[in-house]
Amino acid sequence: MPVTMKVKDVMDRKVITIDSSASVDEAVKKMVQNGVWSLVVERKGASEGVVTERDVIRRCVAKGLPTAKTPVGDIVSAPLITVAPDATLREAMDLMAAKDIRRLFVVDKGKIVGRVTQTEVFQSTLSVMEILSSLTSTL
């Protein structure tokens, strides 16, 4: 019987949002305060996309834009790439590879319920491999 891990098994339920009118400075402070490197950007209460540390560096700092005056809505990555909680880790990895992204947001019944990152998928896969390896050595 194959072992299949689902996105819901490894997702981080900590999803932090920011309004699209907030400055890049505010976004970076919020990321640091919450220990995350991405924020869901909302416009009028609806999810517009995501702003990541890469977006800050590539779309703002590298272009010499003033971080205190640049709204995150100007550097947002959109649309938000999502996955269902019951999707397999393989499906999530394939989607991240196809879209060349590091994180997916988990949506259930139209609501963001979590996020999953490449790191979380890798760590979970490695843990399963270690468990399976220890089981085979005891047989």
Whether residue 72 is contained in a domain is answered as yes
Mean pLDDT of 43-66: 95
pLDDT tens digits along 24-41? 999 999 999 999 999 999
* Rounded-to-integer distance, Cα 75 and Cα 124, Å: 31
H/E segment holding residue 8: helix 7-10
Whether residue 2 is contained in a domain is answered as no
Whether residue 26 is contained in a domain is answered as yes
Is pLDDT of 53 > 90?
Answer: yes
| Residue 19: count of CB within 10 angstroms of its CB | 17
Whether residue 110 is contained in a domain is answered as yes
Whether residue 20 is contained in a domain is answered as yes
| Residue 87: count of CB within 10 angstroms of its CB | 18
Whether residue 1 is contained in a domain is answered as no
CB 11 within 8 A of CB 83: no
CB 37 within 8 A of CB 48: no
Whether residue 107 is contained in a domain is answered as yes
User: 3-class DSSP state for residue 126?
Assistant: helix
What range defines the domain where residue 129 resides? 7-138
Q: Number of helices (H) and strands (E), helices first, in the chain?
A: 5, 6
CATH of the domain at 57: 3.10.580.10
pLDDT tens digits along 80-95? 999 999 999 889 999 9
Domain count, the chain: 1
Average pLDDT, the chain: 90
